[in-house]
Amino acid sequence: AGRMGQAIADSIAAADDLQLAGTWRRGDDLDLLLANSDVLLDFSLPEATDAVIAAAAEAGIPLVCGVSGLSDAQVASLEQAAATIPVVYDRNMSLGVAVLEKLVRQAAAALPGFAVEVHETHHVHKIDAPSGTALKHGEAIAVARGTDPADIHYKSERRGEVPGDHQIVLSSPTETLTLAHSVTTRQVFADGALAAARWVSDRPPGLFTMHDVLE
């Protein structure tokens, strides 16, 4: 998937324990690629994900999916595939974001009366807004409070080449708590994806996130 795919390919080339079996573009034979693969990494676009999920399940190959903007039906397809293959699905492969989500959940539960805003800034090429990571934090807050994710207020900004900045702001009339995470290079997502690939390669079937990889 463009720059992300290139970052992953470069990281695999630099790793002693990993080898790139090949890359797939729509129109190519995905089954042939999977015949020589141990793990499939998907960082394409939602339009390609259905074909990727089906092929991975058919081949019995572990899948790492980091595609943002999947529909509910596509997430359901991932869950279905996870009955037969191990799947790591996360809208953000950064280990720091996995920790941030845990902190956000703690803060939201501890400060139930505080208003919450989720702010995110990304590069001008990013199509979906709010970002998948922002929505992930909103869902974590809603779960922690037992409220509706639709009640979370999001602010999205698109500028320059920012790889990804997220802030969760909890405020009362008397104080404000801000939890923030900033990505300096897209490399962090490639590193997380490879950590997930190593981790998932010998797991039993199931649907996992970066929390599982982290722990």
**32 CB-contact burial (10 Å; exposed 0-12 / middle 13-18 / buried 19+):** exposed
Q: For the chain, percent helix, then strand, then coil, each to nearest 5?
A: 45, 20, 35
Sign of CA dihedral 27, 70, 7, 37: negative
Residues 6+ apart with CB under 8 A from 178: 167, 168, 169, 170
Q: What are the φ and ψ backbone dihedral angles of 183, each rounded to 5 degrees? A: -100, 130
Q: Is 126 marked active-site?
A: yes
Of 122, 137, 166, 181, which is the active-site residue?
Answer: 122
The closest of 199, 179, 193 to 90, measured between CA atoms, is 193
Of 102, 119, 126, 137, which is the active-site residue?
Answer: 126
Q: Is 211 marked active-site?
A: no
Q: Which residues participate in catalysis according to the annotation?
A: 122, 126
